[in-house]
Chains A and B, each alone.
Chain A
Amino acid sequence: MDEILKIEHLNKKFDDLTVLEDISLEVKKGEVVVVVGPSGCGKSTFLRCINGLETIQDGKILLDGETVNPPLGNIKNYREKIGMVFQSYDLFPHKTIIENLMLAPLKVQKRNKVEVRKEAEELLEKVGLSSKKDNYPRQLSGGQKQRVAIVRALIMHPEVLLFDEVTAALDPEMVREVLDVIMELARQNRTMLIVTHEMAFAKAVADRVIFMDGGVIVEDTDPKSFFENPATERAKKFLSTFEYNE
């Protein structure tokens, strides 16, 4: 009923290599879905398919009941509604922080400059980076850059947010500050798909956990059952790699 994102029998291949096989998933409005799985299981590719950065060979991705991928008409209209934050700090290096935030709302959404600036400043305030607004990305730490990248996605007022291992490239002491921002978004009932290797965070933030392995969804369950009582051997094996017992 109130599902916002619907993926039907998605198949994705790189040449002859099948990366995603028959993936079906429905995400409800306000739901936080965490996608976990071993490296190379296709979870990043899966996110990239959702906002059309990857072409798909079969299946359908629908946002609000309208097909996003395979692209019909103008994909950019959908991309506006799907915010994405990447693993590598992907801010525009030639623009200041505030310019990074304002570029897309002004050029893509043709919004009013005064209003956009006001919102950008408010959002920066919320993530504790007001003082950095006139700095360039190179002057920020990795954690600060990722927080800005999250704000840059938020300012577009997306209906769905995609996080692709946003803390994977960070120094350990900076992971927390980024996860806190995402946690806060979860509290605001934002619809999010989060790919992460931070299991403790996954457990805390998720309404639902998707476990992927070898390009298929192996488990789709609530976080408590997944982390405490995984149903499949593959999931058990995966989770055991995060334990360190002498």
Chain B
Amino acid sequence: MDVEVIKSYLPNFIKAFFLTIKIGWIGIALAFIIGIVCAFILYFKVPVFSGFVKGYVELFRNTPLLVQLFFIYYGLPAIGVKIPAELCGILGLGLLGGSYMAESFRSGLEAVPVIQTESALSLGMTRRQLFIYVILPQAFSISVPAIVANIIFLLKETSVFSAISLMDLMFTAKDYIGLYYNTFESLFLLVIFYIVMLLPVSFAGSIIERKCSF
């Protein structure tokens, strides 16, 4: 392993690292919002909308992110919709993650025992109060482990962004390998940067899981 090579690659890897983090977390935030909205629609069985949500969830959970990105990046321009690569990455990740988050939130909501609803109602709470003070906090706690797992999964999925020419970590590593054949140094840096990105999330995740359990 050549330390000099690593040193010279470092600046571009750091740039790629921040780009990956940026797109990854914006995508996850989007996934979060989509997931919550969809889970509410499913939980309250909102007519018409819940049909759409079910279709959306199945579509995105059962197709690979790479295929989704190709479709958004290369497919849509054919019908005149051109989206820049970064936005494509965010959209792809958000839509994929949204379908997973929706399922996690929904199962959390449905896992709150019926007796909780009944005791809240028997205390005179309205449906709204019941949802805000009783169902939602419990559902969130139940969902936390699944949400943390989703976040880690989504951050790892960012490695396919290179396929739509985003200069993320994977792209940078492949680029260096292609240019200079320093396979080991490039892949070493790639692994290190992914671990640096994900390890804190795993740690924070288990702390949050512990704090949120009751």
A83 and B123 alpha carbons, distance in the complex (Å) = 7
Is A11 interfacial (CB 8 A cutoff)? no
Q: Is B119 an interface residue (CB 8 A)?
A: yes
- Tell me how many residues of A have a C-beta within 8 Å of chain B: 29
Closest to A152 in B: B123
Known: A86-B115, A107-B133. A93 touches B214 (CB 8 A): yes
Residues 119 to 166 of chain B near chain A (Cβ within 8 Å): 119-126, 129, 133-134, 137-138, 141
Which stretch of A35-43, A72-80, A218-226 is in the interface? A72-80
Does B118 sit within 8 A of A, measured CB to CB?
yes
Identity of the chain B residue whose Cβ is nearest the Cβ of A52 in the assembled complex: B121
Q: How far is the CA of A129 from the CA of B129 in the complex (A)?
A: 27
Which one of A108, A152, A153 has the greatest number of beta carbons of chain B within 10 Å? A108
Q: B116 contacts the other chain (Cβ, under 8 Å)? A: yes
* Chain B residues whose C-beta falls within 8 Å of the C-beta of A86 in the assembled complex: 115, 118-119
Given A107-B129, A108-B129, answer yes or no on A90-B119 (Cβ-Cβ < 8 Å).
yes
B137–A94 touching, CB < 8 Å: yes
Q: For residue A44, give the distance in angstroms from its CB to the closest CB of chain B.
A: 12
Q: How far is the CA of A152 from the CA of B124 in the complex (A)?
A: 12
How does the 8 Å CB contact mask read for A70-100 relative to B, with 1 for contact and 0 for none?
A: 0000001101101110101011111000000
By CB atoms of chain A within 10 A, which of B116, B124, B125, B126 has the most?
B124
Q: Which residues of B contact A137 (CB under 8 A)?
A: 214
A109 neighbours in B (Cβ, 8 Å): 124
In the complex the two chains form, is B122's CB within 8 Å of A51's CB?
yes
Residues from chain A with Cβ under 8 Å of B123 in the complex:
79-80, 103-104, 108, 152-153, 156
A238 in contact (CB, < 8 A): no
**Is residue A138 contacting chain B, with contact meaning CB distance below 8 A?**
yes
**How far in angstroms is the closest Cβ of chain B from A67?**
17
Q: Which residues of B contact A149 (CB under 8 A)?
A: 119
A94 touches B214 (CB 8 A): yes
Determine whether A136 belongs to the interface, using a CB cutoff of 8 Å to chain B: yes
Kindly state whether residue A168 has any CB partner on chain B within 8 Å.
no
Say whether, besides A88-B115, A90-B115, A80 and B124 are in contact (CB < 8 Å). yes
CA distance A80 to B122 in the complex (A): 7
Contact status B138-A76, CB under 8 Å: no
> Which of A83, A91, A93, A104 is close to B125, meaning CB atoms less than 8 Å apart?
A104
- Which of B116, B122, B133 is within 8 Å of A84, CB to CB? B122
- A residues near B134, Cβ cutoff 8 Å: 92
A92 vs B123: C-alpha distance when bound (angstroms): 12
Q: Which residue from B118, B124, B214 sits with its C-beta under 8 Å from A53? A: B118
Q: Which residues of B sit under 8 angstroms from A83, Cβ to Cβ? A: 122
Contact with A along B89-119 (1 / 0, CB 8 A): 0000000000000000000000000011011
A156 and B124 in contact (CB under 8 A), knowing A88-B115, A103-B133, A107-B129? yes
B75 to nearest A CB, angstroms?
45
Please, how many angstroms separate the alpha-carbon atoms of A129 and B80 in the complex? 69
For B118, the chain A residues whose CB sits under 8 A away are 53, 86, 90
Q: Is the CB of A76 within 8 A of B126?
A: yes
Given contacts A76-B126, A82-B122, 5 further A-B contacts (CB under 8 A): A53-B122, A76-B121, A92-B119, A104-B120, A137-B214
